[in-house]
Structure 1
Amino acid sequence: MTVIREADFIQSIADAFQFISYYHPTDYIQALAKAYEAEESPAAKDAMAQILVNSRMCAEGQRPICQDTGIAMVLLKVGMQVQWDSKMTVTEMVNEGVRQAYMNPDNKLRASILTDPAGARKNTKDNTPAVVHVELVEGDKVEVNVAAKGGGSENKTKFVMLNPSDSIVDWVLKTVPTMGAGWCPPGILGIGIGGTAEKAMLLAKESLMGHVDIHELQERGASNRVEELRLELFEKVNALGIGAQGLGGLTTILDVKILDYPTHAASLPVAMIPNCAATRHMHFTLDGSGAAVLTPPKVEDYPEVTWEASSDTKRVDLDTVTAEDVASWQPGERLLLNGKLLTGRDAAHKRIQDMLANGEELPVDFKNRFIYYVGPVDAVRDEVVGPAGPTTATRMDKFTDMMLEKTGIIGMVGKAERGAIAVEAIKNHKAVYLMAVGGAAYLVSKAIKDAKIVGFEDLGMEAIHEFEVKDMPVTVAVDSTGDSVHQSAPKEWQAKIGKIPVTSN
């Protein structure tokens, strides 16, 4: 009988979450490098270059790939012959491992987990509790899958109860464009088919733990219906032209993973969950011999990709920029931001709204300033700030008109597209929305030369910071007339690819 010791299990969980915070799975890097070489869209190629360079930087510096270090998820398959040498439950041991990983002083990870989600939403400060699934299986070992799922991709989860005669392919192709780019493509689509609603969801999540092998499948050909679906969806989703970061291009997904399960004769449950460009997960086995030994990728596993601003990139001084300057910027134009940049995201925007409604004075003057939607990782050692990539901008859409009208900001920086109400507000106020690359958080942080909290310190990572930035790369995503590259570019590339008719809406 195998005995799994408490200390070994906790250490393995802690080591694994640290490991996946800064090491991409090698199969993902190789697939992304292949897509980068094949990409024809300059904007998408630039975004992929940033993600690849960021990945190598994180591996070398052992700092998080993304500022959103995720909600911890652990899938356990426990052999029936396993005995636990512990006074803690399995879930308690998992949570202790997560706590140790996220509070590690050498690479402190961002705590994003809130209790009372429908009420006070109070941060637990250590990223616990994890989401734990335990299955008892034959054998005398413990199979462990860990994942750190970012909110941007998790929030794009989709589920449907189809009729048995309905087309899964049609539903996926109709649904993926509605997900926008907040899940930071190029990534992986995980699909669960069958069972019940909750089983399909779990199958979709579990499928994302699989090896990226679509190109191997293309070479050998499909041997069953699930593999046929994977190949069909891989081709057709990429033919949508959404591209890296939603900027239009040849590659939107690097693989489609599918798991299925028997279901009721009247049902066809289908769940779809995307994995983002961070795609943090790993698998290990415990056999009672000690803690898991995790092997880091080799330097040669990373492609020789560099990133630098193109020669036509415009430098912008945020301290002197005017509304007239903003009005001259064109959709898709690349900029390098310099000067002082304020930050703020969900909680800060809500508090600003409440303070303005109550006639209270704000802690900082926003007039003619830019605001960056970000919740950075805490700094360690000599860092000014930890990884500080953008968060999904659409969550701030409902506050956009208020911020533009009441605070006097003239621009925003975030991740992915803006929704219709935000685009209309931007157009009405002659403002601008700039997009930074999601999945390049450590690279972005190197452009931040100074950082201080200037408001709402009690909100932790959601406090208002003032960054001093030097050559921070962004793209004009919505210009002052309301033109959005996230609307135009995918349609352009879908037409270029020519496999799926372009719709008007």
Structure 2
Amino acid sequence: MARITEAHLIDSVADALQYISYYHPPDFIRAMADAYGREESPGAKQAIGQILANSRMCALGRRPICQDTGTVNVFVDVGVEAPLAWTRPLQEIVDDAVRRAYMLDENPLRASIVRDPLGARTNTGDNAPAMLQVAMVAGDRVDVTVSAKGGGSENKSAFAVLNPSDSIADWVVETVAGLGAGWCPPGMLGIGIGGSVDKSMAMAKAALNEPVGDLTQIRARGPQDRAEALRLEIFDRVNDLGIGAQGLGGLTTVLDVKIRHFPTHAASLPVSLIPNCAATRHLHFTLDGSGAASFAPPDLADWPEDVLSRTEDATRLDLDALSPEVLNELEPGQTLLLSGTLYTGRDAAHKRMVEQLDNGEPLPVDLGNRAIYYVGPVDPVRGEVIGPAGPTTATRMDKFTDRILAETGLKVMVGKAERGAAAIDAIRRHGAVYLIAVGGAAYLVSKAIREARPVAYRDLGMEAIYELQVENMPVTVAVDTHGRSIHEIGPRKWRRGG
């Protein structure tokens, strides 16, 4: 009998990770296209349009959908009769595949994993290790599902042990309402119910890999069990929150809700919630000993060609000529096209800048009347100026915002999702503005970057400070100089029901 070798698994996982870096699952794209067609909120519709346009560009150019190419999650179901030719631990085998995929010269993927989470948090450099889940199942084959999970959505995961009499739907809806937009909606909700703490979380994560789109059929024929009824209830109630794409307010916040459940203790009701973002990426394959899996490109007919970012009414903003008069005219929800000089800087760079200010040292860049972009780009290839360069979650910079605005004269920040109350107050007091680029449109955004050069903190890798020259980079005003936030105004306008 043919045996399933380590090489079969390594080749298959590595190829799958490259595949999902630039191909969305077609069922997800069809659901997004449907949401685009139904959307009535102009801001949300434009955001979904950018995500769809970006997805098609990535499929054609074979470049990452999102600059956060994710933590690798690998689910392996090993048939108890499978003829295995493995001599090493499965973790070692899978990690070899991750290294190969993420360090591929033709399409390098961003390494985001840091070792020693309690210490220096040094980047591993190759995105290993993977997060591995293994189950022994009936049969003589090995089934593998590979996914790449972005940090923004992963960070919004939640868990609770409810009383058995509590409403699961109430808890999920209240939790999602408090997540903000950092998980980059519209996306998926994976929910694990029952089992134990660890079992519940594992089920929620695995549920995110299920196909999208069966809720329409379930609604038409009527739910056949409690799980289907709960999925419909949560789907409707979450979308009624009006959060919308990128938190701008709109009709679609989730495309689907997936639930897995397992027997649990009579006194317990463990419930886990894990959202998946607009960069939903996963792929399944089976190994039977005949060789590595092969993956055919999807049919690009599933990607709508007529969906583009609508920027005809956008206001052009010259980043090299910022003034109080210009900034005071900007309003929440307004679409802008940025041109000029834009610096990058995210968590590590902000932390180092504040340390230098504490020590009375001059900063390596002059941020006076300048703009900064919260981004950690993918490395460029084949003559690119920069790789996919979408925004990271801005709230992680909130604790630095007042200090940076006060002591550097920075006036414009670009990121994704909402800002906290303290950051909004600082923005108002210092006459600054906060803009958002669309999370999940990293390749599209990168095409507006004409020049890029590192200017400080090069040892931080993708978190170094770069000086960018941008031309017509599409963004939305999220917080204006008066402290008004589109992430409060938009959802409030589009919320339905009680």
2:266 aligns with 265
Partner of 1:159: 159
Specify the alignment match of 1:361 in structure 2: 362
The answer to whether the 8 Å contact 1:374/1:388 transfers is: yes
Paired residue type of 1:12: S
Structure 2-normalised TM-score? Answer: 0.99
Deviations 1:59-87 (A, max 9, x none): 00000000000000101000011232233
| CA distances 1:354-373 after superposition (whole Å, capped 9, x unpaired) | 11101112111111100000
Q: Residue 264 of structure 2: SS of its match in structure 1?
A: coil
Aligned counterpart, 1:459 = 460
Give SS of 1:451's match.
strand
* 1:338 equivalenced with 2:333 (yes/no): no
Matching of residues 28-39 of structure 1 within 5 Å: 28-39=28-39
* Cα distance in 1 for residues equivalent to 2:111 and 2:217: 38
Give the Cα–Cα distance (whole angstroms) in 2 for the partners of residues 131 and 32 of structure 1: 28
The one-character-per-residue Cα deviations of 1:175-195 (angstroms, maximum 9, x if unpaired) are 111110010000000000001
Q: Which aligned pairs between 1:114-133 and structure 2 lie closer than 5 A?
A: 114-133=114-133
Query: Structure 1 CA distance, aligned partners of 2:305 and 2:216?
Result: 21
Aligned residue in 2 for 1:7: 7
Instruction: Name the residue aligned to 1:407.
Output: 408
In structure 1, distance between residues paired with 2:87 and 2:174: 50
Q: Which structure 2 residues correspond to residues 298-377 of structure 1 after superposition, within 5 A?
A: 298-377=299-378
In structure 2, how many angstroms separate the alpha carbons of the residues matched to 1:132 and 1:163?
Answer: 31
Distance 1:136 1:308 in 2: 47
State the alpha-carbon separation in 2 of the partners of residues 222 and 306 from structure 1: 33
CA shift, 1:304, in A, is 2.5
| Number of the residue aligned with 1:492 | 493
Q: What CA distance in whole angstroms lies between the structure 1 residues aligned with 2:399 and 2:306? A: 38
**SS of equivalent residue, structure 1 residue 250:** coil
In 1, are the aligned partners of 2:343 and 2:465 still within 8 Å (CA)? yes
- Give, as a single letter, the amino acid of the residue that structure 1 aligns with 2:471: K
1:130-209 matched pairs, under 5 angstroms: 130-209=130-209
Letter of the aligned partner of 2:448 in structure 1?
A: A
Whether 2:69 is the aligned partner of 1:69: answer yes
CA deviation string 1:337-379 (max 9, x = no partner): 0001000000000011111101112111111100000000000
Do the aligned residues in 2 keep the contact of 1:2 with 1:81 (CA within 8 Å)? no
Q: Distance in 2 between matches of 1:311 and 1:384?
A: 26
Q: Tell me, yes or no, if the aligned pair for 1:309 and 1:473 is still in contact at 8 Å.
A: no
In 2, the alpha carbon distance for the partners of 1:77 and 1:405 equals 54
- Stretches (4+) displaced over 4 A: none
CA distance in 2, matches of 1:459, 1:107: 21
Alpha-carbon deviation of 1:220? 2.5
Cα displacement string for residues 145-195 of structure 1 (whole angstroms, at most 9, x for unaligned residues): 111000000000011110001001111111111110010000000000001
SS in 1 for 2:339: strand
Counterpart code for 1:356 = L
Whole-angstrom distance in 2 between the partners of 1:192 and 1:10:
29
- Pairs aligned (count): 497
CA distance in 2, matches of 1:180, 1:221: 31
Deviation at 1:429? Answer: 0.7
- Residue identity in the other structure for 1:427: R
Amino acid at match of 1:465: Y
- Structure 1 residue 321: Cα displacement: 1.5
Amino acid of the structure 1 residue aligned with 2:15: D
Aligned-partner Cα distance in 2 for 1:366–1:427: 18
Residue in 2 aligned with 1:50? 50
> C-alpha separation between the residues in 1 aligned to 2:266 and 2:408?
56
- What residue number does 1:471 align with? 472
State the Cα RMSD in Å. 0.9
Any gaps of 5 or more consecutive residues in structure 2?
none
2 CA distance for matches of 1:312 and 1:335? 9
Q: What does residue 101 of structure 2 align with?
A: 101
Q: 2:73–2:149: 8 Å Cα contact kept in structure 1? A: yes
- Secondary structure of the corresponding residue to residue 82 of structure 1: coil
Instruction: Show the counterpart of 1:386.
Output: 387
Please give the alpha-carbon distance, in whole angstroms, between the structure 2 residues aligned to 1:113 and 1:272: 22
1: CA distance between counterparts of 2:19 and 2:312?
A: 37
2:387 maps to 1:398: no
Q: CA deviation at 1:2?
A: 5.3
Moved more, 359-368 or 337-346: 359-368
- The residue matched to 2:401 in structure 1 has which SS? helix
Q: Distance in 2 between matches of 1:311 and 1:6?
A: 53
TM, length-normalised to structure 1: 0.97
CA contact (8 A) 1:397 1:418 kept: yes
Q: Which residue does 1:255 correspond to in 2? A: 256
Aligned-partner Cα distance in 1 for 2:199–2:431: 47
CA contact (8 A) 1:234 1:253 kept: yes
Instruction: Report if aligned partners of 1:2, 1:140 keep a CA contact under 8 Å in 2.
Output: no
Local SS of the residue matching 1:123: coil
Q: Is the 8 A contact 1:2 1:141 kept in 2?
A: no
Q: Helix, strand or coil: the match of 2:57?
A: helix
Q: Secondary structure of the equivalent of 1:114?
A: coil
Distance 2:173 2:113 in 1: 32
Distance in 1 between residues matched to 2:300 and 2:156, nearest whole Å:
33
Distance 2:457 2:290 in 1: 48
Name whichever of 383-392 and 216-225 sits farther off.
216-225
- How many Å apart are 1:324 and its aligned residue? 1.9
C-alpha contact (below 8 Å) 2:47/2:309 kept by paired residues: no
Cα pair 1:193 1:261 within 8 Å, conserved: yes
Say whether the 8 Å CA contact 1:432–1:479 is kept in structure 2. Answer: yes
